[in-house]
Amino acid sequence: MLVIRLVSGPTGPDALVLPVRPGGPDSPDFLASPDSSASTGSSAELVPTAVPTGDEIRAEAAAVLPATRLTGATGEVREHLRPGGTPARLWLLGVGEGGEHDWRSAGAALARAAKDETQITIALPAEATAALRGLAEGLLLGSYRFRLTEAGKRSALAEVAVLVDDPDALAGTLDAARATAEATRLARDLTNMPSSTKNPEWFAAQVAQAASGHPDLHLRVRGPEELTAEGFGGLLAVGGGSATGPRLVELDWRPEGARTHVVLVGKGITFDTGGISIKPVPAMKLMRKDMGGAAAVIAATLGAAELRLPVRVTTLAPLAENMVSGSAFRPGDVIRHYGGLTSESTNSDAEGRLVLADALAYAARELKPDLLIDLATLTGANAVALGKRHAALYSENDTLATGLLDAITAAGERAWRMPLADDYVEYLASEIADLHSSPAQGAGSVVAALFLREFTGDLRGRWAHLDMSAPSWSDDTHGELVKGATGWGVRGLLRWLATLG
């Protein structure tokens, strides 16, 4: 993975990156900066940096700037060659208004544009905390690639030196950015992995490998026999059609002195055919991503341990493969979930809520946390309502919802709070069971959330559900996202967990 290090002086680089922001006559700094390109009529100007990069270099950059036609918008990148000079190449990088989100997108754009460089140095402004956090995450996430073959697996860019005035003061910021990006990359790796490899047993083994050696991390994996003995009926029903039985991964981060206990639950369907209610081919081809919620909560818990966040986090990942076979559960079956509630399922493609119901009930009855959060690639209705880049957040707790939304936004992810409309509860009625898990009436994402709420017990007022099917996958490259799994939720959860200590 790309190495990022903090430096306070010249490193003799072959390539130097200078940040550029919107400028020109409308800029408040039009006359304030002596090396600004404003006097030349350019719509962009150089950002003052904490460590001088040399008057000659900045003067040359300011002189070249008008010809680049840069506006200073976030993610604009231009290369300027300096034959015989040091550095040999000068890169100008648009950072927009200079907020963390701008620097994150700029870092990702730079990682892609400078992929053929071996080493680059980038100068940051004096107030560098937000800039460094965004830049480092952008570089590490924008340079991410998932390949199962060696060809094209790595880009040439191996090291980025970040020029700041006090490296020691910013070391913690870089560590936080690096741990967050590494956790997000892990979630992307798990989600991108083809389901020919990724079954519940494999997923559980990956968690065990990632958790090994971390102090205060405790792992328990339940297999089919334990799940049967303890009554996890939803998980057993959904996983019953597969040659690989279901698993329940329980990963617990227990730092000494933690005062708050959070349980994270993530949907872990390692492949979803739709079961007997089989999906059409276009809807099935990307169903290796249907465990994106489990990947996110597992990775966030590992990230919390790496950062040693002072909050206890227990993650539950119910893992199953929803396959078609003689032992698959049928439309119309009644399932007895953990804790005793029953549900009638007339659509075996509404399977995610069945495994989540078991995990939520177990968390509420046995773990009794302070807060309960679930993430799930649950419904296509999420994308219908909010498009491809927003998750839908449901909660009855205004404080919890606001805290999650603020953290998600600060981390550069997107979510929108949706209503838990009680007038849809009537659609959950069943003539033969306690609940109907797959009613055909009501708004799909809302009804699914209402079903899950029934399993939260005394934690109903301290629970939030994130339907993140849409933003879990990107169809193109933009900002810090690349085509494929996004690892949505890892960054937002880590920001939020950091506020609970």
Which pair of tokens denotes residue 404?
């999650």
Cα–Cα distances (Å) from 95 to 98, 124, 131, 202, 333, in that order, read 5, 11, 9, 41, 56
Active-site amino acid positions = 279, 353
Cα torsion 194, 197, 198, 202 to 10°: value is -160
Nearest CA to 318 among 359, 279, 357? 359
Residues 6 or more apart in contact with residue 280 via CB below 8 angstroms: none
Whole-Å CA distances, 256 to 120, 260, 338, 486: 41, 11, 30, 32
Residue 454 CA to chain centroid, in angstroms? Answer: 27
Q: Are 455 and 339 in contact (CB under 8 A)?
A: yes
Single-letter amino acid, residue 286: L
Distance CA 308, CA 190 (A): 23
Query: Helix crossing, 167-192 with 292-307: angle to 10°?
Result: 160
205 CB contacts (<8 Å, ≥6 apart)? none
